[in-house]
């Protein structure tokens, strides 16, 4: 029996390593978004500072996780075998849940996930015990500490509102003081600002870090608490003096120092406090296992009251966990994906918006605009003018490629770190259950609002994104509770076989999400090749246009072929493949259309006159994509609703036409690939022949209608196919013509 439970302990630690990897990938947003978003330093320096903070913080995490041992459930109410079921259900759920959030680039709280997983698994096991003992539902409080979960939910609501509001107000005042052109004022006030910032971050590190260190005795902790004001005063004076000296003698960038120190502090706090979210449960399981082995009692008889006592975590385990976290931080692409979501929602400039608008975001923007207009009416013009100058954005440095420009400046990055550090420190000292994720994310959103990054062009999308992330936090609690509850039930029913089956399922899910993430990353990399990342010339634009046109024709040909073959053969898989091709083509065409402004803006000044040809090419590509969509989608709906298929004569006509259309596609590709633009006249003749053929097919359908050989739905679909095919042919020729004119005009101007 002991060998089986030893294997389960090994499984717990294997899950812990996986949980560390997926957990760090999600929580990296807490301490990386400010430094990466502001480009405060090269990435290798940012990651190095964060890694050092993680390593130091992991050694500070000396106590076993209270929540895992006794925070959510009462351990004395359970025996060893039941505790193991709870811990295994929690770890399996946590690995799956966090990996899914990482795959889709959503930041969430690892604290909330672990709390509600423990709650779900504990409730599941408790109900099973109560059912066997014949206890009423009112006795659940004997097993579960429900007040802790309610306190966590309350903490979410409080931290969301306070962090956003305080972040917006304090950063607004900071911007009024320094403006976007802050370099001159930093010469006079930079060292004082830096001293105040680093003193605040030092307070944060003492409150969130040193209090948990194994080398801090209760007497030392009390001394730190009693002398905190003096420590902060000395820290402020020391850092102000040191920063001024460094600025005088080494011309050091004070804001860069603040951002890197803040990154170190938040990374240290993350490892010192959130590390237990990932390894606390396995360590509690290991402690329980050792107690059971030494007791010599049956696993169904040993009470877990020992979990109420204080247990120290071996330093070597903390260091191993720290190394795993650092490796994940450096090599995980998913970590950067989660960071990107936060940075995109707070960037100062316009760009592609990940989220769509919603009714609530439109209502908030409308209310905000009206409120702003009302304040402007009662504010003296002199004050309004002064504030407008302070919030006037600094000119963009065009010498820096767009992909390398910061999403926001270092003043805002410093505000993010300082405000988040202070709020988390205050919350911790007051013993409020604030989440590092919630505070850092909402502070970043508040400072972006204060900087007017959410302008009229982007506000509705950014606000929708914020609500989506907040909704994800609450969804985390619900999913964590439900899935953990179900997994615990499965383990109770299937015992050891169910445990290993669930572990295999978890591995499969992680592999599938990894494959999905890689495909998504590859698709985004492919899209970037189609959008100009830096100032370019007309020749390069022509090459890109040609490449996009070739891709569009191939997509059109594939979608048509798959659609008709699937429809004629009643092959659902082929029709689904046609829908997928249609969706990818439309997304790509829309992306090109949405980035027309960006592409034209990056053309060299002496070749801007050729820009309207690029606009034409993109317009015709978009129209082709529309034609494909309005053909493929109705065909699939007709098939999916089990309507009658086409009659043999219709199928024969469309198959013959499809063969000629395929030749037309191939000839078009030949013209584009081999730059045989002189053959456009021949292509137009082929197009006209196809149009004549379509008219004949259309007349044949009219005759079938007169003879009552086809139904109304049949006719609507058939005529729609003819119409959209005509539109596609017309737009394809216009596309090739625009490409030709683009090339001729460019060669004339060179």
Residues 313-323 have pLDDT tens digits of 666 777 777 77
Q: Is the pLDDT assigned to residue 363 strictly greater than 70?
A: yes
Q: What is the pLDDT of residue 723?
A: 92
Q: Considering only CA atoms, which of 16, 40, 55, 701 is closest in space to residue 413?
A: 40
> How far apart, in whole angstroms, are the C-alpha atoms of residue 77 and residue 285?
16
By mean pLDDT, which of 291-305, 388-402, 530-544 is the weakest? 530-544
Answer with the residue of higher pLDDT: 550 or 108.
550
Q: What is the pLDDT of residues 419-437, one digit of tens each?
A: 887 777 777 666 565 677 7
Three-state DSSP string of 310-346:
CCECCHHHHHHHHHHHHHHHHHCHHHHHHHHHHHHHH
The closest alpha carbon to 639, from 580, 708, 722, 713, belongs to 713
CA distance 253 to 174: 18
Cβ neighbours for 124, distance < 8 A, ≥ 6 positions apart = 89, 484, 485, 486, 488, 489, 492
Domain locations in the chain as residue ranges = 2-392+401-522, 536-749
Average confidence (pLDDT) over 303-320: 68
- 495 versus 456: which is more confidently predicted? 495
Specify the pLDDT at position 219: 75
Helix 183-208 vs helix 254-269: crossing angle, to nearest 10: 20
Assess whether pLDDT exceeds 80 at residue 523: no
pLDDT at 271 over 50: yes
Confidence category of residue 199, pLDDT binned at 50, 70, 90: confident
Q: Angle at Cα 393 formed by Cα 392 and Cα 396, nearest 5°? A: 150
Encoded tokens for 382: 């002199």
Give me the pLDDT at residue 161, please.
83
C-alpha separations of 697 from 105, 649, 691, 725, 729 in Å: 49, 10, 10, 12, 16
Q: How many CB atoms lie within 10 A of CB 620?
A: 23
| Residue with the two structure tokens 């040909």 | 557
pLDDT at 631: 92
Cβ-based neighbours of 313, under 8 Å, separated by 6 or more: 61, 62, 63, 64, 279, 283
Confidence check: pLDDT of 604 > 80: no
pTM of the model: 0.70
Q: With 60 as the cut, is the pLDDT of residue 415 above it?
A: yes
Look at residue 474 in the predicted model and tell me its pLDDT. 76
For residue 209, the model assigns a pLDDT of 55
Which one has a higher pLDDT value, 669 or 520?
669
Q: What is the mean pLDDT of residues 112-120?
A: 82
| Diameter over CA atoms, the chain | 100
Six token digits for residue 437: 């994720």
Give yes or no for residue 383 having a pLDDT over 50: yes
**pLDDT above 50 for 63:** no
Lowest mean pLDDT among 118-127, 232-241, 364-373: 364-373
Tell me which of 489 and 361 has the higher pLDDT. Answer: 489
pLDDT of residue 725: 92
Q: What is the average pLDDT score of the chain?
A: 78
Asked whether residue 605 carries a pLDDT value surpassing 60, the answer given is no
Please compute the mean of the pLDDT values over residues 493-509 and round it to a whole number. 82
Say whether pLDDT at 466 is over 80. no
The topology under which CATH files domain 536-749 is Methane Monooxygenase Hydroxylase; Chain G, domain 1 (1.20.58)
The predicted pLDDT at position 610 comes to 65
Least confident of 287-296, 662-671, 687-696: 287-296
**Is 303's pLDDT higher than 70?**
yes
Per-residue confidence (pLDDT) for residue 534, from 0 to 100: 43
The predicted structure's pLDDT at residue 401: 63
Check pLDDT > 70 for residue 519.
no
């Amino acid at each position: 029996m002991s060998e089986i439970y030893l294997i389960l302990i090994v499984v717990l630690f294997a899950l812990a390593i996986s949980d560390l990897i997926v957990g760090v990938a999600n929580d990296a947003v807490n301490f990386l978004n400010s430094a990466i978003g502001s480009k405060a330093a090269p990435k290798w320096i940012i990651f190095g500072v964060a890694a050092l903070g993680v390593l130091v913080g992991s050694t500070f995490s000396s106590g076993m996780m209270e929540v895992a041992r006794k925070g959510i459930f009462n351990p004395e109410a359970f025996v060893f075998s039941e505790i193991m079921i709870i811990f295994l259900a929690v770890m399996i759920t946590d690995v799956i849940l966090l990996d899914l959030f990482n795959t889709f680039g959503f930041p969430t709280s690892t604290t909330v996930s672990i709390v509600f997983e423990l709650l779900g698994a504990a409730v599941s096991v408790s109900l099973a015990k109560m059912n066997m003992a014949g206890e009423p539902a009112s006795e659940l409080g004997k097993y579960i500490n429900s007040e802790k979960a309610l306190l966590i939910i309350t903490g979410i609501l409080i931290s969301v509102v306070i962090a956003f509001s305080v972040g917006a107000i304090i950063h607004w005042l900071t911007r009024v003081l320094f403006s976007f052109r802050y370099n001159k004022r930093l010469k006079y006030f930079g060292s004082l600002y830096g001293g105040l910032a680093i003193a605040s971050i030092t307070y944060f590190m003492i409150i969130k870090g040193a209090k948990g260190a194994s080398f801090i005795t209760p007497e030392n902790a009390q001394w730190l608490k009693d002398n905190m004001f003096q420590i902060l005063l000395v820290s402020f004076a020391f850092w102000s003096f040191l920063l001024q000296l460094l600025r005088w003698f080494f011309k050091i960038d004070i804001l860069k120092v603040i951002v890197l120190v803040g990154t170190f502090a938040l990374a240290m706090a993350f490892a010192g406090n959130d590390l237990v979210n990932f390894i606390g449960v396995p360590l509690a399981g290991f402690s329980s296992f050792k107690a059971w082995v030494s007791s010599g009692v049956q696993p169904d008889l040993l009470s877990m009251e020992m979990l109420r006592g204080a247990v120290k975590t071996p330093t070597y385990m903390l260091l191993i966990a720290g190394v795993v976290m650092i490796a994940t931080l450096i090599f995980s692409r998913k970590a950067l994906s989660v960071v990107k979501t936060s940075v995109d929602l707070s960037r100062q400039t316009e760009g592609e918006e990940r989220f769509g608008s919603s009714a609530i975001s439109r209502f908030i923007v409308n209310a905000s605009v009206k409120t702003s207009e009302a304040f402007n009416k009662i504010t003296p013009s002199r004050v309004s003018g002064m504030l407008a100058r302070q919030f006037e954005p600094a000119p963009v440095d065009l010498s820096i490629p767009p992909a390398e420009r910061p999403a926001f400046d270092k003043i805002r990055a410093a505000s993010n770190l300082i405000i988040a550090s202070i709020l988390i420190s205050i919350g911790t000292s007051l013993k409020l259950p604030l989440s590092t994720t919630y505070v850092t994310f909402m502070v970043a959103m508040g400072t972006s609002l204060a900087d007017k990054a959410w302008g009229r062009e982007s506000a509705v999308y950014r606000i929708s994104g914020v609500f989506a992330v907040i909704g994800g936090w609450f969804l985390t609690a619900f999913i964590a509770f439900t899935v953990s509850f179900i997994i615990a039930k499965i383990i109770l029913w299937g015992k050891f076989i169910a445990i290993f089956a669930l572990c295999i399922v978890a591995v499969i899910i992680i592999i599938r999400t990894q494959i999905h993430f890689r495909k998504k990353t590859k698709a985004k990399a492919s899209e970037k090749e189609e959008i100009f990342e830096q100032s370019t010339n007309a020749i390069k634009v022509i090459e890109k246009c040609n490449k996009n046109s070739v891709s569009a024709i191939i997509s059109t040909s594939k979608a048509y072929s798959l659609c008709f073959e699937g429809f004629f053969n009643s092959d659902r898989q082929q029709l689904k493949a046609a829908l997928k091709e249609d969706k990818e083509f439309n997304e790509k065409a829309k992306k090109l259309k949405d980035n027309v402004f960006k592409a034209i803006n990056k053309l060299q000044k002496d070749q801007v006159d050729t820009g309207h040809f690029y606009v034409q090419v993109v317009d015709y590509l978009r129209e082709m994509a529309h034609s494909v969509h309005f053909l493929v989608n109705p065909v699939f709906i007709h098939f999916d609703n089990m309507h009658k298929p086409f009659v043999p004569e219709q199928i024969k006509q469309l198959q013959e036409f499809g063969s000629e259309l395929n030749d037309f596609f191939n000839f078009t590709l030949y013209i584009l690939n081999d730059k045989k633009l002189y053959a456009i006249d021949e292509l137009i003749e082929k197009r006209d022949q196809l149009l004549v053929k379509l008219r004949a097919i259309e007349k044949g359908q009219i005759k079938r209608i007169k003879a009552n050989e086809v139904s109304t739905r049949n006719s609507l679909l058939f005529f729609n196919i003819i119409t959209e095919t005509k539109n596609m042919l017309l737009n394809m020729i216009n596309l090739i013509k625009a490409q030709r004119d683009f090339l001729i005009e460019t060669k004339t101007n060179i």
